[in-house]
């Protein structure tokens, strides 16, 4: 925390202790003794550069070029993903993850109200099972959202994306088999 507050620290050596008539009085042991600061507090500067965050600032005045494609950089032979396809994948992932998660949170709230109002003595396994099913389907929705999007920029695809998911699943396994053969 001290690094965030000030960048200058007092020296590690003890200050010169003037001779006194009493041998046990020193400014270090006696807090009421007058102590002079070694540095002027007005010259202290805040330091908030943590490792990894002190990178270069973006060049000012230089216009950014618009991104039309998103590059997947895991290997040299991967193709570029068009911007429309990328946004389509993101939308499908958000829906296929968000809807089951929202239903799971809503079911927990409903079970909480039912228990508080004493409408039904809900067994403990019912909310646990509901949470497991909704959050589990939310986890599966991540993969399904990515696989169910049409990879053709001109073709929008179906609402549920079942045909696209079957095509993309087969293509994914075919690519994996080709990589293993190399």
Q: What is the pLDDT of residues 155-178, one digit of tens each?
A: 888 888 999 999 999 998 998 899
Rounded Cα gap, residues 40 and 160, in angstroms: 68
Rounded Cα gap, residues 162 and 97, in angstroms: 16
Residues 6+ away with beta carbon under 8 Å from 143: none
- In tens, the pLDDT along 70-109 reads 555 555 556 788 999 999 999 999 999 999 999 999 999 9
Rounded Cα gap, residues 104 and 137, in angstroms: 10
Q: Helix axis angle, 125-147 relative to 83-116, nearest 10°? A: 170
- In tens, the pLDDT along 62-77 reads 555 555 555 555 555 5
Burial 79-98 (b: 16+ CB within 10 A, else e): eebbeebbebbeebbeebbe
Domain boundaries defined on the chain: 83-180
pLDDT interval class at 121 (50, 70, 90)? very high
- In tens, the pLDDT along 27-50 reads 555 555 555 556 666 666 665 555
Position 27 scores a pLDDT of 53
Residues 6+ away with beta carbon under 8 Å from 14: 28
- pTM of the complete model beyond 0.75: no
């Amino acid at each position: 925390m001290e690094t965030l507050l000030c960048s200058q620290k007092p020296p590690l050596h003890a200050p010169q202790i003037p001779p006194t008539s009493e041998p046990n009085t020193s400014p270090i042991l006696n807090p009421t003794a007058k102590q002079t600061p070694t540095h002027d507090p007005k010259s202290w500067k805040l330091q908030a550069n943590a490792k990894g965050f002190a990178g270069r600032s973006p060049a000012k005045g230089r216009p950014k070029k618009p991104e039309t494609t998103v590059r997947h950089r895991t290997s040299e032979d991967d193709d570029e993903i068009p911007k429309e396809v990328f946004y389509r994948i993101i939308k499908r992932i958000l829906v296929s993850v968000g809807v089951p998660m929202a239903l799971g949170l809503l079911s927990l709230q409903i079970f909480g109200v039912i228990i508080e109002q004493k409408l039904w003595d809900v067994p403990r396994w019912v909310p646990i099972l509901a949470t497991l099913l909704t959050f589990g389907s939310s986890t599966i929705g991540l993969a399904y959202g990515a696989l169910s999007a049409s990879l053709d920029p001109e073709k929008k695809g179906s609402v549920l994306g079942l045909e696209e998911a079957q095509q993309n699943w087969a293509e994914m396994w075919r690519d994996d088999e080709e990589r293993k053969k190399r």
